[in-house]
Chains A and B, each alone.
Chain A
Amino acid sequence: MKDKYDVIVVGAGPGGSIAAKTCAEGGLDVLLIEKRQEIGDPVRCAEGVSKDGLIRHIQPDKRWISKEVKGSKIIAPDGTEIRMSEGASSQKAGYTLERKVFDRALAQQAAMAGAEVMVKTRATGLLHSNGAVCGIKAMYMGENHDIKANIVIGADGVESKVGRWGGIDTTMKPVDIETGAQFLVSNIDAGEYSKFYMGGEYAPGGYLWLFPKGEHTANVGLGILGSKSEKGMALSLLQKFMKNHMPDARILEMVVGGVPVSGPIKQTATNGLLLVGDAARQSDPVTGGGIINAMDAGKIAGEVCIKACKAGDYSMNTLQEYEDRWRDTFGKSLSKSLKVKNMLLKFSDEQLNQLAHSLVGEDVSRMTLPAVLKILATKNPKMLWEMRSLF
C-alpha cells in the first residue's frame, strides 16, 4: 500500500472491479479495497444477467456461468404462464452466474491490468481538503491508515457509506428497497427458464424467482418492497413457499440482502468523488437487477477518471461527465422502470391476472419487453393509461 494513488475504489463488487480495471488500463495508479476477506462471498444475489449486457464487459467463461437459460416465464397469481424467449426479455434471458467465481474473476482482471488490490480493508471515512474529497481513512487488520487519492470511487454496494461521508444523501426509504431471501436448492427439476412469480401471496410489492443453476439446482428467492415488509417477512414467506411448492427441495445455501429500487437519485458525484452501482442506487426498480448497471457505471466512472487525471482537475468540472453519461444511457431505463414499478404496485392480484389473460393467444415469445408492454397497454387501456408515455 502506498500513501497516495490517482484513484481509490472502495468495494470489489462488479462495479468497483470494472472501475478499477478501466482506470488501470488507462495508465492510472489505482487501489481497489474490499472489506471482506473473500471477494464475492457471501453472495447477495440471484445471479441472473442478460447476455448482451454481460458481453459488453467480459467474455462469458464456463468457470463462472452456472447455466444458460432459454428465456423467462412470468407466472400470474392464478398460475397463468407467459413465456418470453431468449432475446425477447433481454433484461432477464441469459445466464445464471456463479458470482463467487465471477466477482473474483473481475477483480483478477483489475489486478492483471495493474490495479493494487487489498482485501479485509474497510473504508471508515473520507479525507477532505478545500471542499473536495482527497482520499480515504481505512482499516486493515485493525490498523488505521490515511490513504490519499485524487478521486475516490464509492462502489460499496447497498450498505454504502461513502456517499454519505461525501455529503451525498443516499439513504433509502423503505419504499426504495427490496428486501430479499433466497435458497440455493437441490433435488428439484430446475427447467430451462427463469421463472418470475407475481402476486401478494408470494412477495408483496415484489416477486418470487426461480433461476436455474443446473439440471437439479436453482436459486429460489423473493424480494418484498421494504414498505410492505414486516420483521423477518422475506425469509418466512420463502419458507412457506418451499413447504407448499417444493417440499422435496434440499437447501444448500441461504442468501439474504437488500437491493435499491429507488430509481435515479439526485446526485452521484461531488468534487473528488464518484458513486457507482448499488452505492449510487443504480439497480433496476422493477427487476432488482444491478450487476450490469454497476459494470456500465464502473466503466463510465473509470473513463471519466482517466480524463480528469489527464486534465489534473478532479472537481465537478470534469466529473460532471460521469453524471451526464450514466443518466443519458441506462439512467433512462431506470426512470422508465420506476414508473412501471409504481404502476405495478397499484394493481391487485386480480388485475395482474387480467393483464396475464390479455396476453393469452398472443405470441409474445419473440417480442422485446417494450413490445409486450405495448400490447398490454393497448388491450388494457384503462389500467395502463399511465404507461402510454413510456414508449
Chain B
Amino acid sequence: MSVNVNRFKCGYCGACVGVCPAGALELIETWIEVESTCTDCGICAKICPVGALEVE
C-alpha cells in the first residue's frame, strides 16, 4: 500500500475509486481509504482531478 492521499487537496469525489483495478480504494465520509490490495498501478493518481493522490 503506497498511495498517499493529500487530504487537504482531496475533494472526495470518488473518481479514483471507480478506476481502481484492484478495488483497493474506498470513499468513506470525506476521505479516501487505501487497502493493502493496492498494486501501485498509478491510475488513480493520473485521473484525480485535483492531484491529491501520489503513488510512491
Contact = CB atoms under 8 A, between A and B. Distances in A.
A122 B28 contact: yes
27 contacts: A35-B29, A42-B12, A157-B14, A158-B15, A158-B18, A159-B15, A159-B18, A159-B27, A161-B23, A164-B23, A172-B19, A173-B19, A174-B47, A176-B19, A181-B50, A226-B46, A229-B47, A229-B49, A231-B45, A231-B48, A233-B49, A234-B50, A255-B11, A257-B11, A258-B16, A258-B47, A258-B49
Contacts of B28: 35, 122
A174 B19 contact: yes
Given A254-B11, A257-B15, A258-B14, A231 B26 contact: no
A358 B29 CA distance: 49
A179 to B, nearest CB: 5
B1 interface: no
Interface string B1-30: 000000000011111111111010011110
Give the 9 A-B residue pairs with the shortest CB-CB distance, closest first: A232-B51, A258-B15, A159-B14, A159-B17, A234-B49, A256-B11, A257-B13, A226-B47, A231-B51
Given A171-B19, A174-B46, 4 more contacts: A181-B49, A181-B50, A229-B47, A258-B19
A206 to B, nearest CB: 11
A348 B19 CA distance: 27
Nearest to A230: B46
A181 B48 CA distance: 10
Contacts of A234: 49-50
A16 interface: no
Nearest to A37: B29
A55 B18 CA distance: 30
Contacts of A212: none
Contacts of A297: none
Interface centre among B16, B18, B48, B52 (most CB of A within 10 A): B18
Contacts of B14: 44, 157-159, 257-258
Interface in B28-56: 28-29, 43, 45-54
Contacts of A177: 15, 18-19, 47
A235 interface: yes
Interface string A160-198: 110010000011111011011100000000000000000
A260 interface: yes
Contacts of A159: 14-15, 17-18, 26-27
A191 B9 CA distance: 32
B21 A171 contact: yes
Nearest to A279: B18
Given A122-B28, A161-B23, A171-B20, A232 B48 contact: yes
A176 B51 CA distance: 19
Contacts of A35: 28-29
B23 A179 contact: no
Contacts of A170: 18
Contacts of A233: 49, 51
A256 B49 contact: yes
Contact of A260 (B11, B12, B18): B18
B37 to A, nearest CB: 12
Interface centre among A122, A160, A229, A231 (most CB of B within 10 A): A231
Contacts of B18: 158-160, 170-172, 177, 258, 260
A179 B43 contact: no
Contacts of A255: 11
Nearest to B15: A258
B45 A161 contact: no
Interface centre among A164, A257, A258 (most CB of B within 10 A): A258
Nearest to B26: A161
A74 to B, nearest CB: 23
B42 to A, nearest CB: 9
A235 B28 CA distance: 23
A164 B50 CA distance: 26
A257 B51 CA distance: 12
